[in-house]
Amino acid sequence: MTQFWRVTTHADFALLGNIVEHLDDVAPESMTSWSLFDEGDIARLDLIFDIEPDLADVRRFANIPDSMDLTCEKMPDEDWVRLSLAGLKPVEGGRFTLFGAHDRDAVAEGQIGIEIEAGPAFGTGHHGTTRGCLIAFSEMLDAGASPKTVLDLGCGTAVLAIAAAKTLPDADILASDIDPEAVTESAENCRKNGTPGIECFVAEGLDHGRLAGRKFELIFANILARALMELAPDIANALEPGGKVILSGLLTEQEAMVREVYEAAGLTVHRQPPLENWETLVAVRD
């Protein structure tokens, strides 16, 4: 069993950034990796060695001044694969539980599972905006809604479209994103989740042939405040009378601004409880 030692120091992110910039040229072969992570107020640099390092040596080659703390510990012998998955725990949002392939068995009784691997696209559920949308959608379902036409605008991983497909078997569901990589991942996720009926395509906002003239009973739009504001007239126009849009991706301080624009577009806006400073709004066309 190979043993490893971890040397750790803390400082400002930029300062540690300067240190790692030259690290690869000066480190001995026994240093097998480094990692630099933001930990809120401070950043942390770890250097991992496969022989016990001499701290004075490390200070010298890495150029770490005496004013900075430097500690060394023998790394415990861990099941690293298991540990790496512990940070990717399933997430619940309303009726839905999002999980990675390694957690297939972890979906609680009565919850609807959605399998999403952490990949380049946004939307693993480890974020308040996605959860906010899933909760708002679950509440709609609880109130008896069953929209027949759904658009997931800015679909990322298509998590919201998949949630819709799993609960609205008769609905027509479209998922679009400005980012082609996200659309590829969306199609793959739809296949994995047994919801291949979802149409995934690349589009900027509602500007796309497949969206022209179409009306929806439900639109998900988890984008960003600015994009949501720009898209407000188009989104309002793409809603059926009585149709709803779930808006997310806006911070608490942006809520009033976004609300105003949607009200001006003729919608009635309801605010959901914020999650970690992220707001979700449900806007209804009269």
Ligand X SMILES: C[S@@+](CC[C@H](N)C(=O)[O-])C[C@H]1O[C@@H](n2cnc3c(N)ncnc32)[C@H](O)[C@@H]1O
Positions touching ligand X (CB under 6 A) are 121-123, 129-130, 133, 152-156, 159-160, 177-179, 182, 204-205, 222-223, 227, 249
Q: Does 180 bind other proteins (CB under 8 A)?
A: no
**The two structure tokens encoding residue 231:** 């898209």
Tokens describing residue 267 = 């919608």
208 burial via Cβ count (<10 Å: 0-12, 13-18, 19+)? middle
DSSP label at residue 238: T
The full DSSP string for 86-145 is HTT--EEETTEEEE-GGGGGGPPTTPEEEE----SSS-SS-SHHHHHHHHHHHHHHHTT-
Asked if 67 is part of the footprint of other proteins (rule: CB under 8 A), the reply reads no
* E-only strand ranges, 4-50: 5-11, 31-39, 42-49
Match 């036409």 to its residue by tokens. Answer: 149
**Cα angle at 265 between 203 and 146, to 5 degrees?**
65
CB of 13 to other proteins, least distance (A): 9
Residue 145 contact, options ligand X, other proteins, none, Cβ 5-8 Å cut-off depending on partner type: none
User: Of other proteins, ligand X, none, which one sits near residue 179, judging by CB under 5 to 8 A according to partner kind?
Assistant: ligand X
Minimum separation from the CB atom of position 199 to ligand X (A): 15
Q: Which of 4, 162, 175 is nearest to 77 (CA)?
A: 4
Q: CB-wise, 130 or 149, nearer to ligand X?
A: 130
Work out what residue 155 binds among other proteins, ligand X, none; the CB cut-off runs from 5 to 8 Å by kind: ligand X
Nearer to other proteins, 3 or 268 (CB): 3
Residue 177 near which of other proteins, ligand X, none (CB within 5-8 Å, type-dependent): ligand X
The residue (of 27 and 245) whose beta carbon lies closer to ligand X is 245
15/227 with CB nearer ligand X: 227
Does residue 172 bind other proteins (CB under 8 A)?
no
d(CA 171, CA 164): 8
Nearer to other proteins, 94 or 128 (CB): 128
What is the distance between the alpha carbons of residues 109 and 250, in angstroms, rounded to a whole number? 32
Residue 52 DSSP symbol: P
Write the interaction track for other proteins spanning residues 248-277; mark x where CB under 8 A is met and - where it is not.
-x----------------------------
CB 134 within 8 A of CB 117: no
Q: Is 42 one of the binding residues for other proteins (CB under 8 A)?
A: no
Q: Could you say whether residue 36 binds other proteins (CB under 8 A)?
A: yes
- Binding site residues, other proteins, CB under 8 A: 2, 4, 6, 20, 23-24, 29, 32-38, 43, 46, 48, 50, 75, 78, 80-81, 83-88, 100, 102, 117-120, 122, 124, 126-127, 129, 223-224, 249
